[in-house]
Amino acid sequence: MKIYFISTLLLLLDLNSYAQDSSHSEKIFGIKSCKIVYVFDIGIGKGEKTIIFDDWGNVAKEYGVVYPDTSQMKTLIGKDFPQFFDSMPLSKFSQAQHLLKIQTKGVMYNIDLDRKVGYISSYFQPDSSFKFPDGIEKTIGTDTFLNRKCIIKSFGDKVKFWYWNNLVLKKEFDENDLVKTFEYATSIDETYIIKSDEFDIPKDVIIIKNFSDLK
């Protein structure tokens, strides 16, 4: 079975991380629809992704291209798990990966566009009562990013998010000696016209209900 290695490590960049709260009933975001393009570097790979959503964030999709950095993989993962690459050669991760996530109410479709296969997972949307433990989440200031006024929040002492209309436009992670990690929006289109088939699953993709059934 192929392990969705890169996809798993992109959890910090997932659609889930954009929904900070849903205090306005069904309105997850403060804007009804939008298209945002991001660039990112997660240390073991870099790339670009596009988020498109409608219905205040209740339906959304994320298309991403990841270009793995196999040398960083070996450095970061091989250090703690030296046997990992014995059974999973680096060559399996050397090619660009094209990933698609489609979110509907309560359901997330995770799709590998290269293999034309995907699986279904539940989508967690915290309600207005959801809170981080005391001291974890702090509002530390405001900033203007891409001509949008943002609220900056820190999570612990190593992560900062820039929020605009409840969307994260920028993520900043403290660097260490081995890896630099970041994500930020490069363009925002508030007038993007949602297509009639925008959130349809591609017709040539096979959806498997359980991740464990993937071969």
The hierarchical CATH code for the domain 5-129+177-213 is 2.50.20
Q: Rounded CA gap, 58 and 104, in Å? A: 6
Domain ranges of the chain: 5-129+177-213
Looking at per-residue pLDDT, the higher value among 1 and 194 belongs to: 194
Residue 211 has φ and ψ, to the nearest 5°, of: -55, -35
Tokens of 58: 């209740």
Looking at per-residue pLDDT, the higher value among 9 and 164 belongs to: 164
- What is the reported pLDDT for 203? 94
CA gyration radius, the chain? 18
87 pLDDT above the threshold of 70 = no
Helix H or strand E segment including 7: helix 5-9
| Strand 117-122 relative to strand 206-208, pairing | parallel
Q: Rounded CA gap, 62 and 49, in Å? A: 7
- What is the reported pLDDT for 107? 87
Helix H or strand E segment including 5: helix 5-9
Distances (CA, A) of 25 to 30, 57, 83, 148, 166: 11, 12, 48, 24, 13
- What is the reported pLDDT for 23? 40
Helix H or strand E segment including 78: helix 70-80
The residues, ordered by sequence, that sit 6+ positions from 37 with a Cβ below 8 Å of its Cβ are: 48, 49, 50, 51, 185, 186, 187
- What is the reported pLDDT for 175? 64
Distances (CA, A) of 121 to 40, 41, 168: 24, 25, 22
